[in-house]
Each structure stands twice: as structure tokens, then as C-alpha cells.
A and B are shown apart, each in its own frame.
Chain A
Amino acid sequence: MTPNVSLQSSETGRPATRAAWLLFAPLGAWLVLFIVAPTFILFVYSFFHGIGVREVQATFTPGNYARVFGPAYLRIFGRSILYAGATTVLCALIGYPVAYYIGRADERRRNRLLLLVMIPFWTSFLIRTFAWYTILQRQGLLNGLLEALHIIPTLLHAPIELLYSPTAVMITLVYTYLPFMILPIYASVEKLDNSLLEAASDLGAGPMQTFRRVTLPLTGPGIAAGVIMVFVPAIAMFAVTNLMSGGKVRLIGDEIEKQFYSAGDLPFGSALGMTLLALFMLTFWLATRSAAKGK
């Protein structure tokens, strides 16, 4: 076994060894084959003419992008950003206190709490979504509970109709992505140096001021990582949002799927996909830049 293999050892700055490249080769090949090449194909296709169902003419046109930036699709992009943004904000507001509490707890307790955050991952995501379906439907568990507690019909006149609404979509999105916000914030809270907090307090800072001027900046990178891990996948979420809203909340992921399947307009679907990719990169750039500034 070769010890200390790394592509570019950061301490010594010495160039990567042959063995290192060999170790990297499978990952590199995988990336090129399944990420770089398909993206390149999408990019090329996005400038072709769609001339029939799943048929393309290989001549250059910027027309697909003109359609992407037309009012119908801008509205869908805007809606996707809105839902993903609201999900990110809610996840941060709910996730931060949870992550802070777990990160500051003693070790045994901390591990137990972390386990609780991870447990949902043991069940298939699809099954968990259908569980929400059963809870939220009109004759579902939530309304059943409210009836059993006589909240319906005393406080509320009729069963609440949560399923097939934007609220149902938000519940699913926040539920799905919350762990992805908690874990990175937890990682930065755990690293918080107690002596800094003590120093702040010794120098006369109140709890609010300590939080604002010490804790928050120090956990900033965790929040930025959480924002990327929630916002980026949330914006491209599809199928599940369609299911929970009864097909009423149309997001960009569903639209892209539709172009490749029922509409069969491959170039236009590619153009939508490339635009979404550009949006990802923009988000990533903004988040890493703000994290770097936070430091």
C-alpha cells in the first residue's frame, strides 16, 4: 500500500504521482462519462431545431432560449425559485435552533439526537411522501385526530383541506430538506470554541450580542453549506411536488420532464435544463462568495 497518496499534497506542493492519478482515474472517468459528456450533449442539443416528436434538425438556432425567457416559462422559473427560497428560509429558521441544541449537548446525548435526525433516511423517500399523503388527505389522519379531539366541529366547521394545495407542497419540501440544513450547521456549531463565547461574555456582551457577533459569523459557513444543500435540490424537485399539489403547482422540474416525454421537444427541454444548470451555478457562486466574506 502506498502511503500518503494525494493528487497535490497541500503541504509540500509536490505534483501528483502516477499512483495518485491511477486512483483518481475511475472517479474521473465516471465524471466525464456521466456528468461532463451528457451536459455537453444537452448544451449542443439546446441550440438545435425541434422538428417533430423526439426528432431534431442539427442546425443552429437561439430560438429555444428565446422561448425559455418568454413569460410562460419565466413565471415557472420564478415560482420554482420562490418555493425553493421559502423552503430554504424555513429550513434555516427551524434547523438552526435544532442544530445548535444538538451541537451544544454533551456527547452521548448528541449522538442520540443525531441518530434521530438520520432515522428518516432508513425509509424510502417515496414511502415517506405517501405517508404525508395519508396524513393530509381530507379523510386522513390529521382530520381524524382533530375530529377525535372534537376540534372539528367546535373550533373548525369543516375538515381542513391541506392535500392538493401549495401548503402541502411546502410541508413536503421543508420536511424533505430539513436534515440537509441541520447537519452542516451542526458541524460548524460543534466546532465552536467555548473560550470565544466566554471571552465575549467577559468583555460585556449580552447573550444576544454574543450570538449576533460571535456565534452567527462562526457558524456562517455551515449556514451557507446548508443553503446550497437545500436550495439547489429543492429548485429542481419534481414528481413529488406534482403529487402533493395534485398537479396544480407546476415547477420547472416537471416542465423539463414534460418536454422530454409528452411534448417530445428535446432541444427545448435541453434549453430549459441548461438554464436550470446556470441557475445552480449562480446559486453556488453566490453562496460560496458570501461564506468566504463571512470568514
Chain B
Amino acid sequence: MRNGLILGLLAGLLVASGCHKQEKLHLFAWSEYVPQEVIDGFTKETGIPVDYEVYDSNEAMLAKLAPGSAQYDVIQPSEYAVEHLIHREMLAPLDFSQIPNVANLAPDMRDLPYDPGQKYSVPYMTGTVGIVVNTETVKDPIHGFADVFQEKYRGRIVVVDDDREIVSWALSTLGVPINNMSPENLAKAKPLLKRWLPLIKVFDSNDPKRPLLGGDVDIGIIYSGDAAMLYQQDHKFQYILPTEGAHQFIDNLCVPAGSQNKAAAYAFINYILRPDVSKIISDKFPYTNPNAAARKLLSPEQLANPASYPQAGHLDVFHDIGQSAADVAALMTELRGQSD
């Protein structure tokens, strides 16, 4: 019996080393963002197996991508992370002759400021961070952050657990540019944050829908994709772009400079840009689809979802803030440490 086990192990090793010869695509992307259907479809069509590893913040992805660490073929950074990676020459320029489907992108989703001349990135999905209100329990109108953070809503608010995001709400409420996290600006934001933070009941980026659905809270400041799913479940969850200004994020597909399998990476990006494939992503994760050809395939209900396709508002994009990230973290640690 023991011999049998050893033989089995040996056979397993042989099979594993045999597999190694076959090219594999190493995808490193956000959790809950690339439908399994899409990955299976790609493998079925091209015969390239996909290894899908996930992260839950740009910072976690950047930490793993640090020089000398594991190799990936396709990553999914948000706009400011793209900027950070281009700045450090950690991305490979894309060969667009192998990605003809890039033409499907909406014109306003091409050549974006964080990647001048669009050399390194292809938008995957975009969205906003905005306010969700359970209109059954909250009767007063809510237009912006100032309406949310009121004493009467103490203990009824959920927000994404992201220090930079939360600080940017205070800055836009004060009319300060959200990408300037200088010590002076942080000092200005501090008193406001000090008043706001104790009102919040839950900080959760992974699944902020849960406390809203469970009735634990009535108001959320969350990602538009989550808000869109809430709206699909129950129209009582209304989405509002804060009047003070909302953060628009653009998540991209990029190829790290160290990728060993660029041909497969281009094939994958081209596959994602196909309208029918992009529609599957929208069905599963109702963020704003940057693919104009795919948008034509969406149902009227999907397009009418106010969280996926909000009325135009004042939108701001994040930029790489470099070392200020540590100051933001220090400020929030100090304030959140006091809040219980």
C-alpha cells in the first residue's frame, strides 16, 4: 500500500512536470471581478489554461508585484496604480496589433490621462464610489457626504475600508483637491474626519452589501458595482453621486514587464474586449462598462441601473500620491484608534 502511494506521488510529479511545458496564463486580478465563465471560455477557445490569483487592494497587488517576486502575465491595476507602475517601468508596452478589439472601447475610454498615448493599459471596468440609501428607512433627502455624516445617522453607516478613499471625501467636502494629500491639507481634513468616523458603524471593502441587506445599517458609501447589485435585488436601495464630487476609478488590464507569456496575455486582453465576453462581465459584475460595442448588447434594465450608469456628475480620478500614503495611513490610524 505504501509503495502504491509512492508510485502515485511519482506519477503525479511526472504529470505536473509535463504540464509545465504547456504555456499557462498567470492572471492576477481583483477578487469577485473576473467571472469564472469568462476564464473557462478563454481556455476552451485557445487551449491556454489560466491560473487566477486574487487580491483585494491595489496596494496588496503592488506589494506582491515588487521586483523579484512572483511572475504574472496579466494584472488588473486601477488608474493610480497604473501611473505608479509606469513611473517605475514595471509594465510592458502593449502590442496593439495583437489586440484589435481595443477599437470596441468607447472613445472617452481611450488615451486616458494616467497612461498618455495609451501604451500600457486597456480599461476593464470603471465605476464610482457613491452613496447608497435604503429609502424605506431613510426618508430625508441625501445629496452628498455632508448629508450622510449627521448625528441622526450615527451607527447606521457602512463605508469602504480604505483610508485614502475616506480622507478624499473629507477633502472634497472642504473643496480641497483630492489628490493633494499634503500635511497641510490632511491637517485641514482632520477635524472633519474626527467628527465623521465615530458615526460609522462598519468599515468593509470586501462585501459592504451585507450590512445593508442584513438591516444593520441604512446608508453606505460604497463601490458602484456593489450598489448596482443592491439595486437589482431591491429598488429601495438608491444610488447617489455625492454633490461634493465623486471618485471615479478605472480598472485596467496590463502586462507586467516580467511576463514570460506575452502572446497569451494579448490573446486574453483581446478576448476580454470582445463585446459578447464583455457583456458576461457586465451581467455578473454591474460596473460601468467602458466597451461601447458591449454596451449595445446590454438590456434596457441594465442600462437604466442608476449605479452602473449614473447621471453625469462631478467626477475625480485618483493619482499616485507617493509617500503621502504613509501620512494618510498614520492619520487614519490615529483617528480610528480613538473612535471606540
* Residues on A facing B (Cβ under 8 Å): 50-54, 72-73, 75-76, 79, 137-140, 161, 163-164, 166, 242-243, 245-250, 255, 258-265, 268
Contact = CB atoms under 8 A, between A and B. Distances in A.
Nearest to B162: A262
A258 B340 contact: no
B70 interface: no
A51 B162 CA distance: 22
A8 B48 CA distance: 55
Contacts of B161: 242, 247
B265 to A, nearest CB: 24
Contacts of B338: 75
- The contact size tier of chain B is 35 or more
Contacts of B214: 137-140, 163
Contacts of A246: 158, 201-204, 211
Given A72-B334, A166-B340, A250-B337, A264 B216 contact: no
Interface of B: 57, 59-60, 62-63, 66, 84, 155, 158, 161-164, 200-204, 211, 214-216, 322-323, 325-326, 328-330, 333-334, 336-340
A136 to B, nearest CB: 10
B326 A263 contact: yes
Nearest to A72: B334
Contacts of B162: 262
A263 B63 CA distance: 11
Given A53-B326, A76-B333, A262-B163, 17 more contacts: A52-B322, A53-B323, A54-B62, A79-B337, A139-B215, A166-B340, A242-B203, A245-B340, A246-B211, A247-B161, A248-B202, A249-B340, A259-B329, A262-B57, A262-B59, A262-B164, A264-B63
7 contacts: A50-B326, A53-B326, A246-B202, A247-B202, A250-B336, A260-B63, A264-B63
Nearest to B328: A263
Contacts of A262: 57, 59, 162-164, 325, 329
A161 B201 CA distance: 11
Nearest to A134: B214
Contacts of B57: 261-262
Contacts of B66: 54
A199 B12 CA distance: 62
Given A53-B325, A262-B325, A137 B163 contact: no
Given A52-B323, A248-B339, A164 B216 contact: yes
A138 B326 contact: no
A175 to B, nearest CB: 20
Given A164-B202, A246-B211, A255 B326 contact: no
B337 A54 contact: no
Contacts of A72: 330, 333-334, 337
A258 B322 CA distance: 16
A268 B60 CA distance: 17
For the complex of A and B, the 5 pairs showing the least CB-CB separation, nearest first, are: A247-B203, A246-B202, A263-B329, A137-B214, A72-B334
A53 B337 CA distance: 23
Contacts of B337: 72, 75-76, 79, 250
A247 B204 contact: yes
B327 to A, nearest CB: 9
A79 B333 CA distance: 13
B325 to A, nearest CB: 6
A261 B63 contact: yes
A264 B201 contact: no
A83 to B, nearest CB: 11
A164 B211 contact: yes
A261 B161 CA distance: 13
A243 B334 CA distance: 20
B329 A265 contact: yes
Contacts of A137: 211, 214-216
Given A161-B216, A248-B339, A263-B326, A53 B203 contact: no
B62 A53 contact: yes
A250 B333 contact: yes
A5 to B, nearest CB: 21
B340 A164 contact: no
Contacts of A263: 325-326, 328-330
B216 A163 contact: yes
Contacts of A140: 214
A164 B339 CA distance: 13
Nearest to A257: B60
Contacts of B336: 247-248, 250
B340 to A, nearest CB: 5
B291 to A, nearest CB: 30
A248 B161 CA distance: 10
B210 to A, nearest CB: 8
A264 to B, nearest CB: 6
Contact of A264 (B200, B326, B333): B326
B75 to A, nearest CB: 16
Contacts of A261: 57, 59-60, 63
Contacts of B216: 137-138, 161, 163-164
B84 A53 contact: yes
B260 to A, nearest CB: 23
Contacts of B330: 72, 263
A151 B200 CA distance: 29
A161 B164 CA distance: 29
Contacts of A76: 333, 337
A53 B322 contact: yes
Contacts of A264: 59, 62-63, 325-326
